[in-house]
Structure 1
Amino acid sequence: MCGIFCQLSSSPAPSEPNATVYEQLKKRGPNCSNNLMIQGPGCCYHCVFSAHVLHMRGALTPQPVQDAKGNVLLWNGEVFGGLPVSPNENDTTVVSEHLAACSSPSEVLDVFSSIQGPWAFIYYQKAAEYLWFGRDFFGRRSLLWKFDPEVKIFSVSSVAAHNLEDNAWKEVPAAGLYKIDLKTINKGITFEIYPWKKPENCENDDTTWETVHSECSAITNHSRLVVPSAVTPLNMSLPDTLRENETASKNQQNSKDLAQLLASYGQTSDVNHLIDVLSEAVRRRVQSLPFIEEVESLNKNVANVAILFSGGLDSMILAALADRHIPTHEPIDLLNVAFKLQEPKVQKVAGNKSKKHKCKASNANMENCEVKPASSPFDVPDRITGKAGLEELEVLNSKRKWNFVEINIRPEELQETRRERISHLVYPLDTVLDDSIGCAVWFAARGRGVIRDGSEERPFTSEAKIVLTGIGADEQLAGYSRHRVRFKTSGPQGLLEELSMELNRISSRNLGRDDRVIGDHGKEARFPYLDEDVVSFLNSLPVWTKADLSLPRGVGEKLLLRLAAKHLGLGQSCVLPKRAMQFGSRIAKMEDNREKASDKCTRLLTG
């Protein structure tokens, strides 16, 4: 992973990134930093490139990479398939070599359409005098752009800095590849867009043709070329109409019967296929390890891989599959974040009486554990289910050292860190939801907390540079409450439309933000549920195979994934209902309860 930056102008020459942006870029890539300036013929344009490398694969390859032809590549990505990369090779070098052989735009498109994995890039093609940039189909790597009309400078960057005087940065839409013809820059900046070829049933996002500034124009490329779609189109077939009495019967199931209900389902072939493609996606991501050839990798007491871990279905499956592909003698870090509760609460029961609600980690309905009187102010719902998940994993592989990292955040630290660091990383997103999730993910990915040995605890900081996250599962398998609402109001057709929209907008709602936040620690976010093969397989299935929202919560949503979890040998986590990170970690309870998730968040404003 890297922090990449480019400034382009006709005159005067652009400068290096400002101090705040430069420091944030260096945090993303602490192993190597370099700048390079390119001057066009007759000084008609100037480009400043700045790259900061987090060493992950093969030999350390400084960036910007300038080849023998004078082309310049800034690469922030991972090649997990599509282009051959041997274990000892660095994928930056491989991508640069393939691009150097390109003599036409269509050949450039072929290179990027073939890559499986997350990426963002900036590429100066010297012979044609083109500046290319873009993000992958899902937008799994951050890329921002800004145009300063006063000095006529255009900037592209992995990260930005938020202040009240300069609020012009926007996320580059993950709509395709962008090309600027530098020979015509004196007439203004025009982006030629080479869009992803969307499936016929997938409408283009409203942001597709959004430009960075009114003085910049965006046009479809003159050749009408498109980048082939990275995934199989979504299966839009509809099920037979459910009988009303069948739906009612299913919804009358008691929560205690959920495990039995789940056990009654078959779908063995689809379950096995999902486990196979998801297991391979995890393998690719946990075996492309940092510093694999260096001495420190021989220290088997230090984990190479960490998981954002709540003990919920998505993170439990990632842990179980990572266990398959990481040698048993190496630990895995489970990062569990909790924000301090204001005061312990006691669950109220019938008759206006209250009693202590003893909640063992193995109890059935974990969702009801969130109001037990806490022995610690950090016994939030995700801490309780996280400990329960740890017990399941220890049963699954008792020889593995599972580092369950309790990351406890107090209000004072949250407020200071949000102001000094996180607000700049979440920017240009600005809602209450962005604040809550951005802060929770930042502290979780930092990995600083305590681990317990029996009754004793000791300070611990995760050194793993790979952070697995479960994002993408809910979007594809109807895991959110809004999916149930849509199914209830509009039936299977409405649910399909909702799911079609989910992947379309995941880049702008989640992925750029999460990449910026996790990357700030010099760590790399990896998203197995958004592996191209996983998405293609899930898209190929009819919706009723993936989810049955006529069933109760804890079974119907993400049904296929629950069946896979059961097949993998997991226990009560198979039937845990979805609980959003901002509620499970209790960060949402630390602020104004009257806020809506979509409201602008004043806490993200900085002076």
Structure 2
Amino acid sequence: MCGICCSVSFSSEHFSKDLKEDLLCNLQRRGPDSSRQLLKSNASYQCLFSGHVLHLRGVLTAQPLEGERGDVFLWNGEVFSGVQVEAEENDTQVMFNCLSSCQNESDIVSLFSEVQGPWSFIYYQAFHHHLWFGRDFFGRRSLLWHFSNLGMGFCLSSVGSHASEVANQWREVPASGIFRIDLKSTSVCKSVVLKLYPWRSISKENVTKDCEDSLARISASLPAFVSVAANEARLCLKEPVAPLNVLLPPAPAAALRAGIAGSPPAGETLRALLADGHTQEVVGRFIAVLSSAVRRRVLCLPREGARPPGAVLETRDRKAKVAVLFSGGVDSMVIAALADRHVPLDEPIDLLNVAFMTKEKAAPASSNSKGRKQGKCAMPSEGSTPDAAAGPEKRAGAPDRATGRAGLKQLQAASPARAWNLVEINVSLEELQELRRARIRHLVQPLDTVLDDSIGCAVWFAARGAGCLVAPEDVRPYRSQAKVVLTGIGADEQLAGYSRHRARFQMHGLEGLNREIEMELARISSRNLGRDDRVIGDHGKEARFPFLDENVVSFLNSLPVWEKANLTLPRGIGEKLLLRLAAMKLGLTASALLPKRAMQFGSRIAKLEKSNEKASDKCARLQVTSLENLSIEKETGT
């Protein structure tokens, strides 16, 4: 993962050879292993490229890369399939080599049609004066754009700037395809024309209308001097996933019986469904494709070589390479169980469990009824090391803490040889407010709702991984060093996990449910993924999304909707039915029966500061005021 940025200026008066300090710091936190800038000057324009690398694969490759012809490449992504990348190779270099061999725009479009995995990129073609950029189909990597009010330049960046005068002008680059700008033409015309190469599904009949609708949506959020148009050759990228199965043939008998056969205990219902041969086959295929997705996301990591014979590391000295955002719910439990299949057995897996507390929920350390020693453990403050933490242990009564501890016991029972590190991350109201103001709100922007605030803050503190490690004999401060963070996002969207899915089903049946699922996937890039990538990446860690692996999505899209969810069944069974059956088959019975609980409620951050606000309300806590920014400028002397 990387922080990438390209600042373009068409006016020598407004050109700067350096990025603003706050923007540079934001980018450097994403890529702590290498930082480099490159300036490309032309009579008509200047481009400042800035690359900041988090090294995860192959040989450390500094960015930006520059080719013999003067081309420049910035890559924030992972190639998991579609383009051949050997184990010892770096995918940034491989992608640049492929781009350098492209003969025309059709070749470039074909290349990005083949890549499977999360990505955003910026590619400068010196000879043609073209700047290409974009995000993958789901928008799993953040990329923002900001156009100068004076029309004298623009900036593309993984993250935005804090300054109040520009903070509200950053927007997410839509995951609608890839874009191309003719820099030389722009400098002459004094207006920016974005040429779009959109994603195209072979199953859609009216491609022209879809493209026109996409162009209209993008144009609505752009300044007057910026326009967007379809590329002249009408080239499209091939959508990387199979179209959604919206057919509604008669459901298999087993699925129908489950919906009408009274109200047996939930466990019995799931076991009865698993007894059906067809259901067993579908569940087995789902586990296999999801397991492969997890495997791709946990094996492409730098690991130490084999230890000498007889050399043994104490459990507390082993470092986890992989962490899971962990609530103990069915999504994170299945991800953790599948990671256990592929992460080397002598390597711990960190389970990151976050809870928010008010002052009255803090309690002094004490011994429990079993006599387990309760060591002093306070959250490490920002910038501190785990060993520096001291003070009374803060206990949290958040629902996700209880399910997290129960989930840990299930995982320990299923894989006792694995060191499972349940990292209990307790966040006080004071720390939440302090770090939201200083860091988190700038990462959540340009999203701005109460829901964005709640989830953005919860994910940021969870991904930081600074908390307490609860062992059988003691409790000690711990900070996760894992650079890869697995998250279960995408499960609810595809498997009807939200209450709105049940409401739509009750009103419009399976046809309405299909439309809701289709809409969820179409908007996940703008609602979730860019924000989560910015928030997790701020710790020099990379978010990886197994449920949004192209093969997983294609498999789930191929199934009729009733094999993924059966909303005639009660809450806690019917939603995400396929995933619950998979959890049962993996031996995670208790987690398979847990109802869906949103992260903002499970972690207790929702309503923590204001009880009468709605999730869709604009959140004042995320705003950056001019007065506040002026104070910051005075303090820093900028």
**Structure 1 length-normalised TM:** 0.90
- Give structure 2 stretches of 5+ with no counterpart: 363-392, 626-638
- 2:339 is equivalent to residue 322 of structure 1: yes
Query: What's 1:367 paired with?
Result: none
Q: Displacement, 1:341?
A: 4.5
- Give the match for residue 331 of structure 1: 348
Q: Aligned residue for 1:404? A: 422
The answer to whether residue 605 in structure 2 is matched with residue 593 in structure 1 is no
Q: Answer whether contact 2:251 2:562 (CA < 8 A) is retained.
A: no
Match of 2:532 among 501, 514, 519: 514
User: SS state of the match for residue 337, structure 1?
Assistant: strand
Give the 3 Å change call, closer, same or farther, for CA 251–64 of structure 1 in structure 2.
farther
Task: Describe the shift of the 1:164–1:251 C-alpha distance in structure 2 as closer, same or farther (beyond 3 A).
Answer: farther
Alignment of 1:55-204 (within 5 A): 55-150=55-150, 152-166=152-166, 167-185=168-186, 186-187=188-189, 188-198=191-201, 199-200=203-204
Determine if contact 1:342/1:590 at 8 Å carries over to the other structure.
Answer: no
- Equivalent in the alignment of 1:234: 244
CA distance in 2, matches of 1:252, 1:178: 54
1:104-123 deviation line (CA, Å, top 9, x unaligned): 11100111111110000000
Matched residues in 1 for 2:261 and 2:156: separation? 51
- Contact 2:394 2:426 (C-alpha < 8 Å) held by counterparts: no
Please name the residue that 1:354 is paired with: none
Q: 1:26·1:52 contact (CA, 8 Å) conserved in 2? A: yes
CA distance in 2, matches of 1:219, 1:402: 51
- The amino acid across from 2:19 in the alignment is P
- 1:308 is aligned with what amino acid? L
Paired with 1:153 and 1:597, the residues of 2 have a C-alpha distance of 35
Change (3 A) 1:51 1:249: closer
Of 462-471 and 124-133, deviating more is 124-133
Aligned to 1:282: 294
Q: What whole-Å deviation, never above 9, does each CA across 1:227-282 have from its counterpart, x for those lacking one? A: 01110000011244999xx799749526xx10111111130111111111100000
Deviation of 1:588 (Å): 0.4
> 1:153-552 counterparts in 2 under 5 A?
153-166=153-166, 167-185=168-186, 186-187=188-189, 188-198=191-201, 199-200=203-204, 207-240=217-250, 250=260, 253=263, 257-265=265-273, 266=276, 267-290=279-302, 301-341=318-358, 343=360, 377-552=395-570
Alpha carbons of 1:421 and 1:324: their partners in 2 closer, same or farther (altered >3 Å)? same
Q: What are the superposed Cα offsets for residues 317-343 of structure 1, whole Å, 9 maximum, x if unpaired? A: 000000000111110000000001465
Shift of 1:45: 1.3
1:451 partner SS: strand
Worse-superposed segment, 223-232 or 183-192 = 183-192
Q: Residues 527 and 260 of structure 1: is their aligned pair in 2 closer, same or farther, counting only changes over 3 Å? A: same
Distance of 1:409 and 1:485 partners within structure 2 = 34
Shift of 1:316: 0.3
> What is the SS of the residue equivalent to 1:33?
strand
- The secondary structure found in structure 2 opposite 1:165 is helix
In structure 2, relative to structure 1, the CA distance for the partners of 1:108 and 1:8 (3 Å cut) is same
Closer, same or farther: CA 535–249 of 1 in aligned 2, 3 Å: closer
Q: RMSD value over aligned CA atoms?
A: 2.3
Letter in 1 for 2:246: M
Distance in 1 of aligned mates of 2:219 and 2:263? 48
Q: Quick check: 1:341–1:377 contact (8 Å CA) kept in 2?
A: no
Name the residue aligned to 1:349. none
| C-alpha distance in 1 between matches for 2:508 and 2:106 | 42
Q: TM-score, normalised by structure 2?
A: 0.86
Q: 1:379 to 1:281 in 2, by over 3 A?
A: same
Matched to 1:284, the amino acid is R
CA contact (8 A) 2:219 2:227 kept: no
CA spacing shift, 1:477–1:414, aligned 2, 3 Å: same
Give distance in 1, aligned partners of 2:38 and 2:257.
Answer: 63
- Find the counterpart in structure 2 of residue 352 from structure 1: none
Alignment deviations for residues 422-466 of structure 1 (CA, whole Å, 9 cap, x no partner) = 010001100000000000000000000001222520000000000
Aligned to 1:558: 576
Q: How far is the alpha carbon of 1:69 from its aligned partner? A: 1.9
CA spacing shift, 1:291–1:128, aligned 2, 3 Å: farther
1:182, distance to aligned residue in structure 2 (A): 1.7
The number of equivalent residue pairs is 571
SS at structure 1 position matched to 2:613: coil
Counterpart amino acid of 2:401? Answer: R
| Contact 1:162/1:427 (<8 A) preserved | no
Rounded Cα–Cα distance in structure 1 between residues aligned with 2:306 and 2:619: 44
Deviation at 1:14, TM superposition (A): 2.9
In percent, how many aligned pairs have the same letter? 55
Contact 2:15 2:46 survives alignment (8 Å): yes
Q: Contact 2:129/2:182 (CA < 8 Å) preserved in 1? A: yes
* SS of residue matched to 1:322: helix
Question: Is the contact made by 1:548 and 1:559 (CA closer than 8 Å) also made in structure 2?
Answer: yes
Alignment CA distance shift 1:321-1:184 (3 Å): same
Q: Does the CA-based 8 Å contact 1:77-1:118 persist in structure 2? A: yes
Q: Match of 2:184, as an amino acid?
A: K
How far apart are the structure 1 equivalents of 2:32 and 2:553?
32
SS of 2:237's equivalent in the other structure is coil
Q: CA offsets per residue over residues 22-56 of structure 1, 9 Å max, x none? A: 1000000011111111122xx11111101101111
AA in 2 matched with 1:173: P
CA distance in 2 between partners of 1:384 and 1:259 (Å): 20
What secondary structure sits across from 2:571 in the alignment? coil
Q: Supply the AA of the counterpart residue of 2:572.
A: G
One-letter amino acid of the structure 2 residue matched with residue 227 of structure 1: L
* 1:7 Cα offset (Å): 1.0
Structure 1, 192-201 or 486-495: larger mean CA deviation: 192-201
Give me the whole-angstrom Cα distance separating, in 2, the residues matched to 1:135 and 1:177: 7
- In structure 2, C-alpha distance between the alignment counterparts of 1:577 and 1:276, rounded to whole Å: 24
Per the TM alignment, residue 483 of structure 1 is displaced from its structure 2 partner at its CA by: 0.2
Unaligned runs of 5+ in 1: 346-374
Distance, in Å, in 2 between the alignment partners of 1:603 and 1:292 is: 43
Specify which of 28, 31, 35 is matched with residue 29 of structure 1: 31
